[in-house]
Amino acid sequence: MRKLHLGTTALAAAATLTANAALADVSISGAAEWSYNSRSSNLAANDGTSFGDDMEMTINFTNKTDSGLDITYRVDFATGQGDGAGLVNDETSIAIAGGFGKIVLGEDDDAADAYNIDESDLIAEDAAPAAMSATIGTSSSISSDDVNKVAYHLPAMGGLTAGVSHTDRGAVGGTDTTSYGAKYAMEAAGASITLGYAVVADENSTQDVDMENMGMKIVSGDISMIISQGGTESNDEDIHNVGASISYKMPNGMTVGAYTFKSEDDLDAGEEYSRSGAEVQYTIASGLTAVINVDDYDYKNGSSDAAAADSGTNTKLTIKAAF
């Protein structure tokens, strides 16, 4: 009788779990990228070829409450070799959405990430070389980290969307981050125009760091164009960034694009970084894409930066699969 009682309890528990699970919709998606990179550099340490990967798996649990709230629990895993061994928890958050807008709690992007517009948004793969040891911009995008935070996004009001987030690291000397941004979309002369503005402000006991981005995206038929600018200000940095890109979707499933970018630091005389390049995307089959980038870059280290000057060409082939 005791065994029967335990078995009945287990069945009841399983039924309860099944009933609860049925309340949520579960979706799993994945993205996998493999790349071959060839870099020609005037620095011997940077000259050569390499393989790379960028793998990701996302699980979403969604539920609608009786009061009409949409609740989403999202877990994003980085699974590639470059992200460490096995599954690495990249982002974990819960979102609560309703007529009031959306609240996001947990390890997710800064709010500004949703409103940032920069030249790389039209480019499927960024072929620029790995980040230099110098503290200068390599795109007009602003940074975002996936630490624990609270974010709020207003409900769309016509073409206007906006949001704000805050990260509280607590300990004395820790960096608190406030991030906010907005986008406005409109139609003009048969084209879709989107204006974006985003800010990330870091505050700690050592120094404050302010990052800003402004951009405009224009889409007219199969042609898209972006112009953007931004910068970073801190105790010893006054960096100004400007970029532009254009892309064209061809009837044969191919997309061609070109981009340019330049960054200068006014507090480090002569320090600047520039890059320009072209890209071809080709859809091999549904969910499978090949991308080729050719990117020319030039970094001048200025009068006081310890990083080595570098210039060269970077060529990259990427195979992308979406699931």
pLDDT band at 263 (very low <50, low <70, confident <90, very high): very high
Average pLDDT on 268-297 reads 93
Side-chain-side CA neighbours of residue 188 (13 Å)? 9
What is the reported pLDDT for 15? Answer: 45
Average pLDDT, the chain: 87
What is the reported pLDDT for 305? Answer: 62
What is the reported pLDDT for 172? Answer: 66
> DSSP character for 68?
S
What is the reported pLDDT for 175? Answer: 83
Torsion of CA 107, 110, 113, 116, to 10 degrees: 180
What is the reported pLDDT for 130? Answer: 55
Question: Which span out of 6-15, 42-51, 280-289 was modeled with the highest average pLDDT?
Answer: 280-289
Average pLDDT on 266-281 reads 91
Flag whether pLDDT at 248 surpasses 50. Answer: yes
- Residues 180-212 pLDDT 10s: 999 999 999 899 999 999 999 998 877 789 999
In this structure, which long-range contacts are made by residues 179-187, counting pairs with CB atoms below 8 Å and at least 24 apart in sequence?
A: 179/110, 179/111, 179/112, 179/113, 179/144, 180/111, 180/112, 181/111, 181/112, 181/114, 181/115, 181/116, 181/213, 182/115, 183/114, 183/115, 183/117, 184/159, 184/160, 185/159, 186/159
Flag whether pLDDT at 14 surpasses 80. Answer: no
Is 110-323 a CATH 3.30.365.10 domain?
no
Based on C-alpha coordinates, what's the Rg of the chain? Answer: 23
Flag whether pLDDT at 250 surpasses 60. Answer: yes
Asked whether the beta carbons of 297 and 309 are under 8 A apart, the reply is: no
What is the reported pLDDT for 81? Answer: 67
CA separation for the pair 52, 35 (Å, rounded): 5
Residues whose CB is less than 8 angstroms from the CB of residue 262 and which lie 6 or more positions away in sequence, other chains included: 241, 242, 243, 272, 273, 274, 275
What is the reported pLDDT for 36? Answer: 95
Average pLDDT on 291-317 reads 87
- Residues 105-155 pLDDT 10s: 999 999 999 999 999 999 988 765 554 666 788 888 888 888 899 999 999
Looking at residue 140, its amino acid is S
What is the reported pLDDT for 135? Answer: 72
Asked whether the beta carbons of 30 and 323 are under 8 A apart, the reply is: yes
SS3 45: helix
Q: What are the helix and strand counts (H, E) for the chain? A: 1, 16
pLDDT band at 173 (very low <50, low <70, confident <90, very high): low
- Residues 214-226 pLDDT 10s: 999 999 999 999 9
What is the reported pLDDT for 225? Answer: 98
Instruction: Return the structure tokens found at 258.
Output: 């070109």
Flag whether pLDDT at 19 surpasses 70. Answer: no
What is the reported pLDDT for 12? Answer: 47
Least confident of 26-35, 84-93, 190-199, 217-226: 84-93
